[in-house]
Each structure stands twice: as structure tokens, then as C-alpha cells.
Amino acid sequence: MSDGQLNVKVYSAGELVAAFEAFDAVSQGTADMYHSADYYWIGKSPAWAFFCAVPFGMTFTEINAWIYHGGGQELWDELGAKFNIKPFLAGNTGVQMGGWFNKEINSTEDYKGLKIRMPGLGGEVLREIGAAAVNLPGGEIAPALQSGAIDATEWVGPWNDLAFGFYKFAKYYYYPGFHEPGTANDLGVNKDFYESLPKHQQRIVEAAAAMENVYQNAEFNAHDSSSLTTLTGKHKVQVRKFSPDVLNAIGEASGRVMNRVGNSDPLTAKVYKSFLESRKDSIGWAKLADQAYWEARLLPFKYGQ
């Protein structure tokens, strides 16, 4: 896009710094940018989670509406400035799966003492109902599941989960991923570096991130369905839906956690308030738009058969 003016050299987790050190590396200028999921930084401020994914939060199109047109970007910029980071949306997984379990989950009792990998506020919610939730970077999950260090895990959805081979160590694959209903992947740019760029190069970074936001979501949608077929057909994975009772109980726990965490400091409270308003608007409109259409599409009429 820049005709050679901007060149990006990409390092994997562990090459320049470890996965969870990406934030400090960019904040301090060891690296110019990270591509990550901002809920990994809730130890810096819980507000970061809202720009990535929170339990029973917003979907891909809804978070886009908030960030691009609902005041979300301005709040994110305010948060980022405290850490010398200029943030952008740069990818979205869509609704994730609920996770891999080696036993059925029939009530929230089944979460008691369960050692499960779940990052962000989703982990906080599962701790609220008695699970022993831990966070691990992607590359460490499968070995932990294999060794029994964890009993269960979530990662993303069929495409990414198939690649990591979780089906070898846990056979029940639950949905929906209430904890990550449209996880944003985020580009964090060192703010000093970003502001040192000429305006047109800043616009190039912004446009590239926006393009990746759409492109990556399309990539997930294109691959998740076929990967699910491979998991259930070839690998005999048992797909299970969380019961309404389980989801409602986790929703109640989510509400308590969100109110606690969302009001933990003035800036987080400001972000939380804006998020809640946007979420409410999204739910109201989705009832008449996306949700109503998805239900209509599943009526038993014949189409293309």
C-alpha cells in the first residue's frame, strides 16, 4: 500500500518477546506494533477487555458499530494513550466455540474445580461459578491439555481448534462461546512511532487495519464450517450445546463480574457505560434485523433443494 515507504517485519510469539510481553514491548518501543487480543492486557487495566471480547458482549458487526461510529475508538484512544499505544481493530474471529471438555457439562456444578484455560473476563466469570480458570498463550494449550495440567480449554473455533489438535485430548466440543461472541484482534501501535509518521502513512496503517478487520473475519467464516465437518466426521468429536439453564446461570455470573470489574476505576467505568449503551442499542436493532432474519431463514421452507 505504501509503495515501499512502510515495511513491516513480523515476529512470532517468542522470537522478539514472549506472547504476553507484546504489550510492554510496544508500549516501551522495543517493537513498533503488536497484533493480539486486547483482553490479554486486563492486568494493565480491565478496560482493555471491552475492545476485544467480554462475556455476553457484542458480535463482530456490533463491536464495529461501537468502535467506528459509537464513540468506542475515542475511548480506546484515551485508554491507549495512558500506555503510549494507538489501537485499531484488525481482525475478528466471529462467535467463538464454548470450549473442549473431557466430560459433559450439564449444570454449573460441572464447572466446580474444573481447570480450564479461558482468558479475559470469561475466565473471571468461570472463577465466579467455581472453576479454576487459567490463562495460557495459544502455543501452550495443547501440551497442558495432554498432560492433564488443565481439564478443559477454549481457543477460538473449529478452524483454529482443529489445527491445534484439541480433539485428541477432549471429546466434547461445546457451543456457543458466550465468553467471546465476536473477539476483536487488535493492532496496537507505539503512539510515538505512529505520530512520527507523515499523515498519509498514518492513514495507510489505519486502512490496512480496517481491511484486515474484514478480511480476517471472512477467513474465519470460510474455514470454520468445513473444519467442523472434519472434527465431527473424521475425528468423531461430540458437539454439545450449553443448556439454557447453564447459559442463564453463567449470564447472571457475567452480570455480577461485569458490574464489579466495569466500575473498578473511573476510565474503565466510562468505557463500561459506553459499551453498555451500545450493547443495548445493538440488541434492540438485532431483534428486528439479524436475529429475526436468522430465525426466518431456518423456517422449514424448501430452498435450493
CB of 180 to Ca ion, least distance (A): 5
Closest chain position to Ca ion (CB): 180
Buried b (16+ CB within 10 A) or exposed e, 232-270: eeeeebeebebeeebbebbeebbeebbeebbeeeeebee
CB of 34 to Ca ion, least distance (A): 17
Query: In terms of Cα–Cα distance, which of 279, 37, 21, 233 is closest to 154?
Result: 37
Identify which of residues 23 and 194 has a Cβ nearer to Ca ion in the complex. 23
Identify which of residues 92 and 96 has a Cβ nearer to Ca ion in the complex. 96
Query: In terms of Cα–Cα distance, which of 94, 95, 99, 120 is closest to 40?
Result: 120
Task: Give residues in contact with Ca ion (CB under 5 A).
Answer: 96, 154, 180
Query: In terms of Cα–Cα distance, which of 194, 195, 196, 190 is closest to 85?
Result: 190
CB of 296 to Ca ion, least distance (A): 30
CB of 183 to Ca ion, least distance (A): 6
Identify which of residues 180 and 224 has a Cβ nearer to Ca ion in the complex. 180
Identify which of residues 179 and 191 has a Cβ nearer to Ca ion in the complex. 179
CB of 156 to Ca ion, least distance (A): 5
Buried b (16+ CB within 10 A) or exposed e, 82-93: ebbbbbbbbbbb
Identify which of residues 33 and 156 has a Cβ nearer to Ca ion in the complex. 156
Identify which of residues 96 and 254 has a Cβ nearer to Ca ion in the complex. 96
Q: Round to whole Å and give the CA distance between 8 and 33.
A: 9
CB of 192 to Ca ion, least distance (A): 31
CB of 155 to Ca ion, least distance (A): 6
Identify which of residues 194 and 220 has a Cβ nearer to Ca ion in the complex. 220
